[in-house]
Structure 1
Amino acid sequence: MLCPSCKDDRRRTRQRKPAMERRFRVLSLGAGQQSSALLVLSARGELPKLDLVVFADTQWERKVVYDNVDRLERIATDAGIRFERVTAGALRDTAVEDDFVPMPVYGYHGDKPVVMRQQCTMDWKIKPIRRRVRELAGPLHGLTVEMWLGISYEETYRLKPSPVAYIEHVYPLIDLKWTRAHCVEFLAEQGLTDVPRSSCIACPFKSAGEFRRMASEAPGEWADAVDFDERLRARPDPMFVHHSRKPLPLVLGSPIETDLWGNECEGYCGV
C-alpha cells in the first residue's frame, strides 16, 4: 500500500505537461493593395516575419493581379518567406457549366430580384488556403495559426472571428490604424505604384466604373466578362453580372456607384 506522499508523486507523474504553444503566421494574399502592404511590411521587418504566404488562384484573375503576384513572390522569396499558390480549379468554367452559379450574380425569382449565394469566396479562396495551411503547419496540438487578413482601418465592419478552433484571425492594418490610402502610399514608397485591387474578371462586386476601366485598359478581359454575362443571360433562369440587371455593355454609361466591396465576406477577396 502506497503512502500518501507516494500517491501524490504518482499523480504528478501522470499529469501531462502543458504543451508549448506554437504560432504559425500565415498571410492570406489577395494580391490587392492591403495584403500586398502586409507582405512587404513583413519582408522589411516592420511586422513579424511570416511563416507562409498563400495566394488562392481562381484561375480567373486579371493579368495585372497575376503580375503583382509574381512580383510579391519574388519579394517573399528574397526575404526567406515561403510562398504558395493553391487552386480549387477554374471558377469561370464551374460558373458557366454547373446548374448552380457559385457567384453572387443577380437575377429574379418570379418578379422578385434575387442575388445568388456567394460560394466562390468559401470554395475558391478560404477552403484551399485552409487546406494548405493544415498540410504545412504540422500537428494541431498546441498550434495557433495567425491568419493575417488585409482589412484596413476604415473597414472594421468586415472583421469576423475565425470559425476554426486553431486559426486566429489577425488584422495588422487595424492595429496600425492604416487605411487603404496608407497602404497605397507605403507601397508607392517601395516603388510599387501599380498594385491593383484583386478580383475576378467578371466579379459581380465590380462597379460600373471598374468595368469602364477594364474595357479601356484590358479589352480582352472586358470581352471575357461580356461573354460570361451573355452566357449567364442565356440560361433558362437568366442572371446578370452587374447589379443593375442589365447586359454588361449597357452599364458602361452608368453613373458613379458606391463601393460594393462591403458585401465581400471575411477579407479574402479584393484586398
Structure 2
Amino acid sequence: MQSLTVFLLACEGQIPRFDAALFADTGWEPKQVYTQLDTARRIGAQAGIPVLTVSSGNIRHDALNPDARFVTMPLFAKNPDGSRGMARRQCTGEYKIKPLKRAIRDILG
C-alpha cells in the first residue's frame, strides 16, 4: 500500500515524477491486487508514468510442479500451543526482488 501511495503522489505532482513504476507479479496475486493494478495503470497513463510488469513466473504453478525448484511461500499454520504461525519463506526474494532488480538494471542500461 505504501508503494501505491508514493506512486499516486508522483502522479499528482506532489513529489517528483517517476520515469516508470514497476509491479512484480507472482502470477498468483489476489484478484483485488490485479484490479488495483489496472487502476494504477490508468492513473499512471494519464500522468505519463507507465506501469511495467516484471515476473519470475507463476509461484503457484512452480510450487505444484515437482520438477521445479521449490521456493517456500508464506504458509500459515497453527502452532502446537494453539497460536498462529507462519512457515519460513523465500518467495519475496525470488518472485519480487530479483525480477525488480533485473528490470531496473535493464532500464538503467
| Rg comparison, structure with higher value | 1
Alpha-carbon distance, 1:100 to partner: 3.3
In 2, are the aligned partners of 1:58 and 1:90 still within 8 Å (CA)? yes
In 2, are the aligned partners of 1:52 and 1:82 still within 8 Å (CA)? yes
1:115–1:101 Cα change, 3 Å: farther
Unaligned runs of 5+ in 1: 1-32, 108-113, 139-271
- State whether structure 2 residue 100 is matched by structure 1 residue 132: no
SS in 1 for 2:43: helix
Alpha-carbon distance, 1:81 to partner: 1.2
Deviations 1:111-165 (A, max 9, x none): xxx9644211001000101101100112xxxxxxxxxxxxxxxxxxxxxxxxxxx
2:29 and 2:70 mapped to 1: Cα distance? 21
Alpha-carbon distance, 1:104 to partner: 3.4
- State whether structure 2 residue 47 is matched by structure 1 residue 79: yes
1:51 and 1:39 mapped to 2: Cα distance? 11
Task: Report the equivalent of 1:51.
Answer: 19
SS in 2 for 1:84: strand
Deviations 1:238-258 (A, max 9, x none): xxxxxxxxxxxxxxxxxxxxx
**Identity value in percent:** 40
Q: TM-score, normalised by structure 1?
A: 0.34
Unaligned runs of 5+ in 2: 78-84
1:38 and 1:60 mapped to 2: Cα distance? 24
The AA in structure 2 aligned to 1:102 is T
Deviations 1:163-188 (A, max 9, x none): xxxxxxxxxxxxxxxxxxxxxxxxxx
1:131 and 1:41 mapped to 2: Cα distance? 25
SS in 2 for 1:54: strand
2:54 and 2:28 mapped to 1: Cα distance? 13
In 2, are the aligned partners of 1:101 and 1:116 still within 8 Å (CA)? no
- State whether structure 2 residue 60 is matched by structure 1 residue 63: no
1:37 and 1:131 mapped to 2: Cα distance? 24
Alpha-carbon distance, 1:105 to partner: 2.8
2:89 and 2:49 mapped to 1: Cα distance? 32
User: In the comparison of the two structures, how many residue pairs are matched?
Assistant: 100
Q: TM-score, normalised by structure 2?
A: 0.80
Task: Report the equivalent of 2:81.
Answer: none
Task: Report the equivalent of 1:157.
Answer: none
Task: Report the equivalent of 1:105.
Answer: 75
SS in 2 for 1:85: strand
In 2, are the aligned partners of 1:55 and 1:86 still within 8 Å (CA)? yes
